[in-house]
Amino acid sequence: MAQSWSLIVGVIGILFYIYHNNSQQSVEESVVLNGTYDYIIVGAGSAGCVLANRLSEDLTSTVLIVEAGGSEEENEVMHIPALPGLPQNTKQDWAFRTIPQKKSCQGLKDQRSAWPRGKVLGGSSSINYMHYIRGSRHDFDGWAKEGCEGWSYKDVLPYFIKSEDNRIPRLKNSAYHGTGGPLVVSDSMATPLPDRVYRWGMEELGYKTVDCNGESQTGFCFGQETVRNGERWSTAKAFLRPAMIRPNLHVSTNSYVTKILIEKGKAVGIWLVKDSVKYTIKAREEVILSAGAVNSPQILMLSGIGPKEHLSSLKIPVKVDLPVGNNLEDHLMLLMIFRDNTSSGFNPSDWADLQYKLFRSGPFGKVHLEASAFHGDDKKAPPYFQNQFYILKANTRLAKDFENNFNLNPQITEGVFKFYKNMVEKNEGVITASNILLHPKSKGTIRLRSADPFDPPLIDPNYLDHPDDVKDFLKGMQEMLRLSNTTAFRSIGASPSDPYLEYCPPCNSLPYPSDEYWKCRLRHYAVTVYHPTSTCRMGNDNDDTAVVDPQLKYTLLLSFIRVKGISNLRVVDASVMRHVTSGNTNAPTIMIAEKAADMIRGIDSVKDIRKKTEHL
Ligand SMILES: Cc1cc2nc3c(=O)[nH]c(=O)nc-3n(C[C@H](O)[C@H](O)[C@H](O)COP(=O)(O)OP(=O)(O)OC[C@H]3O[C@@H](n4cnc5c(N)ncnc54)[C@H](O)[C@@H]3O)c2cc1C
Ligand SMILES: *[C@@H]1O[C@H](CO)[C@@H](O)[C@H](O)[C@H]1NC(C)=O
Ligand SMILES: *[C@@H]1O[C@H](CO)[C@@H](O)[C@H](O)[C@H]1NC(C)=O
Ligand SMILES: *[C@@H]1O[C@H](CO)[C@@H](O)[C@H](O)[C@H]1NC(C)=O
């Protein structure tokens, strides 16, 4: 009997395997490249894939997109939502490390933070945690106020909607969301806890339950994720692959761009290295840099666009003196852990594995980042939001992340890994509440290590340099401690116990839970949430901190007089953000690319959506 069952299951499995593989569009990269294109896009990440799709919609222009990494399909686990941390430190990850930090990362190996970035089609959207958060309306209104004309909330909302295919039933009638776009957004709910416990706990603390991507971001919200039918929906899947059938789009993978070719103040092409061979490819209209917040500034500096003194010290001829690589902003996160008496939430079993293989459903089909909350005052001017909280159940995945991804010192990795593993084995509950500081005052830099394009750049996020950042973090910690002591949380036996206590010298010698203890935890064990932005920030013509203007082009500033910079060159990715947004950065990066595509094409593709959203 058992045998015939497994035979039936096996046959169904094979049928589904064939079905899934046929329904996948497996278009291959272009083999033969042309010498000239109208547009060259550097980097097939969150922004680059959107641009490749939108620019090639116009069948009269030719487009080349160049990516240093390979296909996202080479990684066998990249599509599984429940295992988003696994692609880190593989071939598909640049696996950067920051320079040793002075006031943070003290419990990390060499005081260096791991800085993963996707090196693959889809870029960081192929290795991220898929949480979909657009940012607050005040973020974009703030950008506009600081000189980024055309980037207010009213201006950008139509582009968020244009991209989206929102499949969450409770948001069906929301004017803030779109359907029918390439980017599928689905519900993160994987266990009953967000609805049964988290929500009520937050409401006890005075938070309203809201759609964080809707009218007001302040409050508690059920998670939304870029997952389609149980698979990661990277921008490679959503935007690039459907466009790869167009004859006017070429895709070149494993192609490392080393420099922008500049002639007489005009970007005319790129240099790239593929299979150890150097190529020059020309652009008739524009070169668009979408290599992300680390590599876009790196490529600019290698091309002679950057801080004069820095370039001169490396003997790189200076073409334009601009603050490239300055103003780096990133989010730092502190994980707080509470025990509870519900089950472990995500307990991978053979059945779960089979269920996923057959139907793309079950626990493997969700990210398990089930809820977020935003703390702050939505009515106030900046800094409107102080903190974001993720609330999730411990599971094997967090154990793995601790083991592999945070670059923690071996002692704490082993301790916390053991703690999580033990909980999972005994099927005991742990709730992890992450506290994220949304608007840090500390700013960092990206600099070149050398003039060699294959040398990884020097990344200095300068975390916790500004004393206010520590103070603002503490407010978030107090909030999460209060959450663990609400009636809702106490009803599942939650206690603000902290397993780090056992394993985290020197903090464990301090009284728990004192401010001193939390400050120590913060300086030793806070980790990045992977949201670097603003290294080629946008600003108006007489802003000497800006690298690009609101058209995302180059401006050169000399004593408040605008001098012609480099023409035919744009930057379109997370590096142009005026400031890091209040939340995760994939959705706003996609929005930036959608808007830039319209600017480049000189069209207004969102007229109709704008009419419908003007009153919002
Ligand atoms: C581990 C992780 C988890 C995250 N979790 C979330 C989340 O849950 N939700 C969320 O919204 N955001 C998340 N983010 C952030 C989000 O994914 C990024 O902000 C976003 O993807 C940035 O897009 P981008 O286009 O600026 O850069 P990227 O997507 O990084 O794209 C840059 C591309 O350029 C390529 N490139 C770089 N240099 C060169 C070169 N010299 N030649 C050719 N190609 C080059 C890269 O290989 C890459 O493909 C996460 C990020 C990481 C790394
Ligand atoms: C490549 O070049 C050929 C020959 O000139 C041309 O027909 C084709 O349209 C070009 N394709 C792209 C994507 O540039
Ligand atoms: C938890 O809440 C109860 C009453 O609501 C209060 O008496 C107690 O002091 C709180 N405990 C902590 C650790 O804050
Ligand atoms: C969890 O703890 C609460 C509060 O102590 C208790 O009421 C509940 O019965 C416990 N549930 C289980 C499954 O142990």
Q: Which atom of ligand 2 is nearest to the CA of 247?
A: 13
Q: Is the CB of 39 under 6 A from ligand 2?
A: no
> What is the CA(37)–ligand 2 centre distance, in A?
8
Beta strand pairing status for 224-225 and 569-571?
unpaired
**Which three-class secondary structure state does DSSP give residue 444?**
strand
Q: Is the CB of 448 under 6 A from ligand 1?
A: no
Q: Which atom of ligand 2 is nearest to the CA of 36?
A: 14
Q: Which residue's alpha carbon is at the smallest distance from atom 2 of ligand 2?
A: 34
Q: Is the CB of 62 under 6 A from ligand 2?
A: yes
Q: Is the CB of 493 under 6 A from ligand 4?
A: yes
Dihedral (CA of 192, 194, 198, 204) sign: negative
- Phi-psi domain of 412 (left: phi exceeds 0; alpha: psi -120 through 50; beta: other): alpha
Q: For residue 588, what are its two tokens?
A: 């706003």
Query: How far is Cα 465 from Cα 103, in angstroms, rounded to an integer?
Result: 6
Tens of pLDDT, residue by residue over 1-19, are 444 544 444 444 444 444 4
3-state secondary structure string across 151-178: CCHHHHHHHHHHHEEECCHHHCCCCCCC
Q: Is the CB of 341 under 6 A from ligand 4?
A: yes
> What is the CA(613)–ligand 4 centre distance, in A?
47
- Ligand index nearest the alpha carbon of residue 429: 4
Place of tokens 């790196």: 298
Q: For a substitution probing ligand 2, which of 34, 39, 244, 285 has the most ligand atoms within 8 Å of its CB?
A: 34
Q: For residue 175, what are its two tokens?
A: 């004017």
> What is the CA(491)–ligand 4 centre distance, in A?
6
Contact 520/510 with Cβ under 8 angstroms?
yes
Q: For a substitution probing ligand 1, which of 585, 590, 591 has the most ligand atoms within 8 Å of its CB?
A: 585
Q: Which atom of ligand 4 is nearest to the CA of 490?
A: 4
Q: Which residue's alpha carbon is at the smallest distance from atom 13 of ligand 2?
A: 248
Q: Which atom of ligand 2 is nearest to the CA of 38?
A: 14
Contact 176/614 with Cβ under 8 angstroms?
no
- Tell me: is residue 273 an annotated ligand-binding position: no
**Which three-class secondary structure state does DSSP give residue 88?**
coil
Contacting residues for 552 by C-beta, under 8 A, at least 6 apart: 538, 570, 571, 572, 576, 592, 596, 599
Q: Which residue's alpha carbon is at the smallest distance from atom 3 of ligand 2?
A: 34
- DSSP per-residue codes, 252-295: E-SEEEEEEEEETTEEEEEEEEETTEEEEEEEEEEEEE-SHHHH
Tell me the Cα Rg of the chain: 24
Q: Which residue's alpha carbon is at the smallest distance from atom 9 of ligand 2?
A: 248
Q: For residue 267, what are its two tokens?
A: 């970007």
Q: Please give the pLDDT value at position 410.
A: 83
Query: How far is Cα 40 from Cα 183, in angstroms, rounded to an integer?
Result: 23
Q: Is the CB of 134 under 6 A from ligand 1?
A: no
**Which three-class secondary structure state does DSSP give residue 38?**
strand
* Catalytic residue ranges: 531
Q: Is the CB of 528 under 6 A from ligand 1?
A: no
Contact 473/480 with Cβ under 8 angstroms?
no
Tens of pLDDT, residue by residue over 56-110, are 999 999 999 999 999 999 999 999 999 999 999 999 999 999 999 999 999 999 9
Q: Which residue's alpha carbon is at the smallest distance from atom 1 of ligand 2?
A: 34
The list of the chain residues with pLDDT below 50 reads 1-3, 5-26, 557-564
Contact 51/286 with Cβ under 8 angstroms?
no
Write down the pTM of the prediction.
Answer: 0.94
Q: Which atom of ligand 1 is nearest to the CA of 257?
A: 42
The backbone torsions φ and ψ at residue 345, rounded to the nearest 5 degrees and listed phi first, read 90, -50
* DSSP E strands, 458-542: 458-460, 527-528
Q: Is the CB of 281 under 6 A from ligand 2?
A: no
> What is the CA(292)–ligand 1 centre distance, in A?
6
Q: Which residue's alpha carbon is at the smallest distance from atom 14 of ligand 1?
A: 128
Contact 64/41 with Cβ under 8 angstroms?
yes
Q: Please give the pLDDT value at position 391.
A: 81
Q: Which atom of ligand 4 is nearest to the CA of 342?
A: 13
Q: Please give the pLDDT value at position 428.
A: 77
Q: Please give the pLDDT value at position 499.
A: 67
- Ligand index nearest the alpha carbon of residue 131: 1
> What is the CA(436)–ligand 4 centre distance, in A?
30
Q: Is the CB of 248 under 6 A from ligand 2?
A: yes
Contact 547/554 with Cβ under 8 angstroms?
yes
Contact 445/462 with Cβ under 8 angstroms?
yes
Q: 351: buried, middle or exposed (CB in 10 Å: 19+, 13-18, 0-12)? A: exposed
Report the candidate in 307, 311, 319, 322 with the shortest Cα–Cα distance to residue 263: 319
Amino acid at site 102: K
Q: Which residue's alpha carbon is at the smallest distance from atom 4 of ligand 2?
A: 34
- Tell me: is residue 277 an annotated ligand-binding position: no
Contacting residues for 32 by C-beta, under 8 A, at least 6 apart: none
